[in-house]
């Protein structure tokens, strides 16, 4: 059985003080609601500059909210100005790191080999990569959305071992749905999650395909999450952008998984 997971991608929002307040408020709301963390992993991905503050809070208050980063360098150390390594993130007790988010693909283009190196660096440091894939509106218009998303999964995973792939998460995030308010319907999300799972089964094994958690991302909020959660059977949770910045809204999405 795969455990549901809801991940908040804060993008370039919330400085370290705001981040502390946001996580604290999220924890309070979930505690007051008697939320059972054994039923769903709750994760936030702050900007790099806020991760240490979240770590300090998590240690001091013994929080069960996990956290991680939105990107990572492919290399482990050295003359790479502005980069942050997987070991640095692991030393901050990060558990999850995004690879290949469409905003990174657009503004900081990286080739597939670099995405593979980032994925390996995250795994080697003991964390879980969240690989983002998904078609643009153009690919959807051409009717090639499933091939496109599955192709992106294949590009990054094909040289990885069964063990490496089983520790990954895959987020299906159609680019046309990110930050636009145009959420995919549950059939669209299910079709993509199913195609990705079938691909993992045929390229690796059914055990691997059964282990990998597949998320949907793109304009998720507390109003549309419930239908997606109940009707897209191959989906195990959400990657939430905008709505994760509001602890009331994010906690409402989290609680829908129960």
Nearer to ligand PEP, 45 or 90 (CB): 45
Measured between alpha carbons, how far is 189 from 30 in angstroms, rounded to an integer? 27
- Which of 8, 46, 241, 247 touches ligand PEP by CB under 6 A? 241
Annotated binding site for substrate: 9-11, 179, 219, 241-242
Q: Is position 179 an interface residue for ligand PEP (rule: CB under 6 A)?
A: yes
Q: Is position 5 an interface residue for ligand PEP (rule: CB under 6 A)?
A: no
Could you tell me the smallest distance in angstroms from the CB atom of residue 204 to ligand PEP? 25
- Which of 145, 173, 234, 236 touches ligand PEP by CB under 6 A? 173
Nearer to ligand PEP, 57 or 225 (CB): 225
Nearer to ligand PEP, 137 or 203 (CB): 137
Residues with a known catalytic role: 101, 173
- Which of 53, 119, 186, 219 touches ligand PEP by CB under 6 A? 219
Using CB under 6 A, which of the segments 35-43, 199-207, 212-220, 229-237 binds ligand PEP?
212-220
Q: Is position 240 an interface residue for ligand PEP (rule: CB under 6 A)?
A: yes
Whether 156 contacts 99, CB under 8 Å: yes
Nearer to ligand PEP, 4 or 241 (CB): 241
- Which of 242, 250, 252, 257 touches ligand PEP by CB under 6 A? 242
Q: Is position 68 an interface residue for ligand PEP (rule: CB under 6 A)?
A: no
Q: Is position 174 an interface residue for ligand PEP (rule: CB under 6 A)?
A: no
Whether 102 contacts 110, CB under 8 Å: no
Could you tell me the smallest distance in angstroms from the CB atom of residue 22 to ligand PEP? 15
State which residue has the least CB distance to ligand PEP.
241
Q: Is position 222 an interface residue for ligand PEP (rule: CB under 6 A)?
A: no
Give backbone dihedrals phi and psi of 8, rounded to 5 degrees, phi first. -100, 115
Using CB under 6 A, which of the segments 54-62, 142-150, 203-211, 214-222 binds ligand PEP?
214-222
Whether 173 contacts 130, CB under 8 Å: no
Q: What is the dihedral of CA 146, 253, 11, 159, to 10 degrees?
A: -40
Size of the site for ligand PEP (CB under 6 A): 13
Residues near ligand PEP (CB under 6 A): 9, 173, 178-179, 217-220, 239-243
């Amino acid at each position: 059985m795969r455990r549901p997971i809801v991940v908040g991608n804060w993008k370039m929002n919330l400085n370290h003080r705001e981040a502390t307040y946001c996580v604290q408020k999220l924890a309070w709301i979930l505690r007051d609601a008697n939320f059972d963390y054994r039923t769903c992993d709750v994760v936030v991905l702050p900007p790099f500059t806020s991760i240490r503050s979240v770590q300090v809070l998590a240690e001091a208050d013994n929080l069960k909210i996990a956290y991680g980063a939105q990107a990572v360098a492919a290399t482990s150390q050295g003359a790479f100005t502005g980069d942050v390594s997987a070991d640095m993130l692991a030393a901050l007790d990060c558990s999850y790191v995004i690879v290949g988010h469409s905003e990174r693909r657009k503004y900081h283009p990286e080739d597939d080999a670099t995405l593979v190196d980032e994925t390996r660096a995250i795994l080697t440091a003991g964390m879980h990569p969240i690989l983002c894939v998904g078609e643009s509106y153009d690919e959807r218009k051409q009717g090639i959305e499933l091939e496109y998303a599955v192709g992106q999964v294949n590009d990054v995973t094909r040289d990885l071992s069964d063990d490496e792939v089983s520790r990954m998460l895959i987020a299906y995030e159609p680019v046309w749905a990110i930050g636009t308010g145009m959420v995919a319907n549950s059939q669209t999300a299910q079709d993509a999650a199913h195609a990705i799972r079938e691909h993992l089964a045929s390229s690796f094994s059914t055990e691997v395909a059964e282990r990998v958690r597949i998320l949907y991302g793109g304009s998720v909020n507390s109003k549309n999450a419930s239908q997606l959660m109940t009707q897209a059977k191959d989906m195990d949770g959400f990657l939430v952008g905008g709505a994760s910045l509001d602890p009331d809204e994010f906690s409402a999405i989290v609680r829908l998984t129960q």
